[in-house]
Amino acid sequence: MAPIRLRHPKGVSTIQIPLDSDSYTVQDLLQEIYKATEILPSHQNLKTGYPPRSLTLVPELPLGSLDLKSGEQLIVQEVAPTSSRGTDSAAAAAASRSPPRPTASRPAQAPVASRPASAAPAPAPRTPAPEKSGKPESVEVDGGYLIHRVVPDDNSCLFSSLSLLFEQSITKAPELRKIVAEGIKKDPETYNEAILGMPPSKYIETISKPISWGGAIELGILASHYNTEIASVDVETGRIDKFAPGPEGAGGEGNRVIIVYSGIHYDAVSFSPMEDAPDEWHQKVFPIKAGKDENDSILVAVKKLADALRSKKAFTNTATFDLRCEDCGQGLKGEKGARAHAEATGHVRFGEY
């Protein structure tokens, strides 16, 4: 392992990387820098030398393509993501829209940053979900396998994933939308216009439609309804965001379910004694173990599952991907463009191209 010094907005850090490894990629380096700086890989600009020159970052290439030396210093800057880092439009280098970090003691307050104050729940682009064909991704753990359970990419993926885990069938997804609507009605103090970004009645009307995409607000409400923590693992970073049902559900007690977030899509995760076991054999709710996540074999396996999906580019950069409005044909750039277009026109059907 060789030391590499990082100068970044938060200070100076040193990371250890295997410069002589043929299997260590640029993407692996970006992930290591993310751990030290909390700057997403898709937002990193790396410079080295004097005068400093920007490195060309192609995530798929081996680390040797950067010609780094032991003890070298990298200047890490945070920039807006671009589409020129060796990625394609269908699977960009990173996912910029990930669920905000929830507050363990008051999950209802966590979703504040999940949507712009004036925006409706974002319509999910009609993009194929990862691993839709062929064998689902899996990770071996404790005498069985943690399985990536892919659900349809029909704008109800969050509700379908949690319906599969809580209700044993994705057909109950519309019922989960009703639970969210009732949760907002019952707690107007928490779910006010400032939190929701629109009048509660309008939000309820919108989220009740099958074309509306769920996010952090819905995760917080459903965690409380089922009195079960929802752990969402981000494919790009491997970070796990936990939506607790409340103070009584925090502190290493209770149960949790696990979902996977790709930037534009949610899928479920379950445990099975065999990779091809029928659904009724799958364990979908797990006990929360006290202590660090590193001591929980299921959460360790979840991170490995995210690593496997990341290696297959099963995530999307929602800031830079190209979209087309399926209602009028207008070309758009990223989720921000889709939101603005939806607000201006009322159109909600978008496709990636």
Q: 347 an active-site residue?
A: yes
Strands in 350-352's sheet, in edge-to-edge order, are 331-333, 322-325, 350-352
Instruction: Tell me the pLDDT tens digit for each residue of 305-340.
Output: 999 998 887 666 555 667 778 788 888 877 677 777
pLDDT digits (tens, 9 = 90+) for 16-40: 999 888 888 888 899 899 989 988 8
Find, among 156, 139, 155, the residue nearest to 147 by Cα.
139
Concatenated DSSP letters of 275-338 = TT--GGG-B--EEPPSS-GGG-HHHHHHHHHHHHHHHTT----TTT-EEEETTT--EEEHHHHH
Predicted confidence at residue 318, as pLDDT, reads 59
Mean pLDDT of 230-255: 79
Residue 293 appears among annotated catalytic residues: no
Measure the CA–CA gap between 240 and 230, rounded to whole angstroms.
10
Residue 345 pLDDT level (bands cut at 50, 70, 90): confident
Three-state SS for 222? Answer: helix
CA–CA distance, 15 with 36 (Å, rounded to integer): 8
Q: Which CATH number fits domain 2-78: 2.60.40.10, 3.90.650.10, 3.40.50.300, 3.10.20.90?
A: 3.10.20.90
* Cis, peptide link before residue 128, omega less than 30° from 0: no
Asked if 77 and 127 count as a contact pair (C-beta separation under 8 A), the reply is no
Asked about 341 being catalytic, the answer comes back as no
| pLDDT tens digits for range 125-153 | 444 444 444 577 888 888 899 999 999 98
DSSP 96-107: S--PPPPPTT-G
205 pLDDT more than 90:
yes
pLDDT > 70 in the chain, percent: 77
Count of positions (residues) in the chain: 353
Catalytic residue among 293, 307, 327, 347: 347
Structure confidence by residue, pLDDT tens digits, 177-189: 999 999 999 999 9
State the catalytic residue, choosing from 43, 153, 157, 267. Answer: 157
Return the pLDDT at 85: 33
Distances (CA, A) of 23 to 29, 133, 311: 12, 27, 12
Nearest to 222 by CA among 264, 272, 172, 263: 172
Q: How far apart are CA 165 and CA 172, in angstroms?
A: 11
What is the model's pLDDT at position 247? 53
Q: What is the pLDDT of residue 111?
A: 31
Over residues 66-78, mean pLDDT: 88
* Same fold? 2-78, 107-114+128-311: no
Confidence band for 349, pLDDT divided at 50, 70 and 90 = low
d(CA 34, CA 275): 32
**Radius of gyration of the chain measured on its C-alpha atoms:** 21
Task: Say what the pTM is.
Answer: 0.60
What's the rounded mean pLDDT across residues 249-254? 56
For the residues 40-66, what does the mean pLDDT come to? 83
Clarify whether 265 is annotated catalytic. yes
Q: Is the pLDDT of residue 77 over 50?
A: yes
> Residue 283: which of 178, 164, 128 has the closest Cα?
164
- The active-site residue, picked from 8, 148, 265, 282, is 265
pLDDT at residue 203 tops 90 = yes
Average pLDDT over the chain, rounded to an integer: 78
CATH 2.60.40.10 fits 107-114+128-311, yes or no: no
pLDDT tens digits, one per residue of 92-104 = 223 223 333 333 3
Least confident range of 47-51, 198-202, 210-214: 47-51
User: Which whole number is the average pLDDT over 194-210?
Assistant: 90
The domain ranges of the chain are: 2-78, 107-114+128-311
Give the up-direction half-sphere exposure of residue 106: CA atoms within 13 A in the CB hemisphere: 6
What amino acid occupies position 48? T
pLDDT at 146: 94
Q: In the chain, what percentage of residues exceed pLDDT 90?
A: 33
User: pLDDT value at position 256?
Assistant: 95
Q: Name 287's Cβ contacts closer than 8 Å, sequence gap at least 6.
A: 254, 255, 256
Residue-level pLDDT at 89 = 26
Q: Supply the pLDDT for residue 172.
A: 95
Work out the average pLDDT over 66-84: 77
